[in-house]
Chains A and B, each alone.
Chain A
Amino acid sequence: GESVGLHLPTLSVQEGDNSIINCAYSNSASDYFIWYKQESGKGPQFIIDIRSNMDKRQGQRVTVLLNKTVKHLSLQIAATQPGDSAVYFCAENDYKLSFGAGTTVTVRA
Chain B
Amino acid sequence: DAGVTQSPTHLIKTRGQQVTLRCSPKSGHDTVSWYQQALGQGPQFIFQYYEEEERQRGNFPDRFSGHQFPNYSSELNVNALLLGDSALYLCASSYMENTEAFFGQGTRLTVV
| Secondary structure call for the A interface | strand
- Knowing A98-B45, A101-B41, A101-B42, the reply to whether A43 touches B98 (Cβ < 8 A) is no
Pick out which of these stretches binds chain B: A14-22, A53-61, A66-74, A89-97.
A89-97
How many Å lie between the Cα of A63 and that of B74 in the bound state?
34
Please count how many residues in chain B sit with their CB below 8 Å of the partner chain's CB atoms.
Answer: 26
How many Å lie between the Cα of A43 and that of B90 in the bound state?
7
Residue of B nearest to A102 (CB): B42
Please count how many residues in chain A sit with their CB below 8 Å of the partner chain's CB atoms.
Answer: 21
How many Å lie between the Cα of A101 and that of B41 in the bound state?
5
Residues of B within 8 A of A (CB): 4, 6, 33, 35, 40-45, 48, 55-56, 58, 88, 90, 92, 97-98, 100-106
